[in-house]
Amino acid sequence: MRTVLAPNLTASLVLAGALVFLGGPAASSRPAGGGASKPPRILQSQFTMLDNGKPGPEYQVTLRAKLQVAAAPGPLKLRVRERLKLGSKIDGENVRSLNVRQTRATEWHSVDWKLEDRFFGIGEYEVQATAVDAKGRTSNPRSKSWITKD
């Protein structure tokens, strides 16, 4: 059996097929302009603390937060909060931010800093990192803590 289509129906079917192939309205429900991207996510993290020198006036500690971030390409802010606690009492707290550019969907970024004097001492030193995209959306936090007993 052979089906014969009217000329205007054939043109409509071809047009609908072209819209699907080219990603038109029939292909997806995403809005024009590429659609909404997902908020950033930290997939993996590595936190390290390195002693520099012997204890004394020249002694320093360097910290590094290395983060694998999944985010849309563009500007990104890495926010690192550090805190020294003794029990429930907070003895010191600081937040630092670093502006970076995300060039791929998943990328490693690194933040280095020297431990300030106010964070030396007995207690729990905690570092927490998050990523914030250009729309102000914040990623999941990643953290690590060290217990110092001196």
Within this chain, do residues 140 and 74 fall inside the same structural domain, yes or no?
yes
Within this chain, do residues 66 and 25 fall inside the same structural domain, yes or no?
no
pLDDT at position 150, please? 66
- The yes-or-no verdict on residue 29 having pLDDT over 50 is no
Neighbour tally for 131: CB within 10 Å: 25
Within this chain, do residues 5 and 77 fall inside the same structural domain, yes or no?
no
Better-predicted residue by pLDDT, 21 or 124: 124
pLDDT at position 36, please? 62
CA-CA distance, 44 to 138, in Å (whole number)? 16
Report yes or no: 84 and 128 within 8 Å, Cβ to Cβ.
no
pLDDT at position 100, please? 96
Residue 23 structure tokens: 């990603």
pLDDT at position 120, please? 86
| Residue range 64-70: mean pLDDT, rounded | 97
CA-CA distance, 124 to 115, in Å (whole number)? 14
Within this chain, do residues 129 and 65 fall inside the same structural domain, yes or no?
yes
102's enclosing H/E stretch is strand 89-102
- The yes-or-no verdict on residue 141 having pLDDT over 80 is yes
Within this chain, do residues 99 and 47 fall inside the same structural domain, yes or no?
yes
Within this chain, do residues 46 and 29 fall inside the same structural domain, yes or no?
no
Which residue range is the domain that position 31 belongs to?
1-36
CA 107 and chain centroid, separation: 9
Helices (DSSP H) in the chain: which residue ranges?
A: 7-22
Q: Tokens 């590595």 sit at which residue?
A: 46
Residue 42 structure tokens: 């930290």
Better-predicted residue by pLDDT, 69 or 23: 69
Within this chain, do residues 73 and 49 fall inside the same structural domain, yes or no?
yes
Residue 116 structure tokens: 């300030």
The CATH code of the domain that includes 104 is: 2.60.40.10
Share of the chain above pLDDT 90, in %: 61
Within this chain, do residues 50 and 105 fall inside the same structural domain, yes or no?
yes
pLDDT tens figures, 92-106: 999 999 999 999 999
CA-CA distance, 61 to 64, in Å (whole number)? 10
- Per the structure, the count of domains in the chain is 2
Q: Tokens 């953290």 sit at which residue?
A: 143
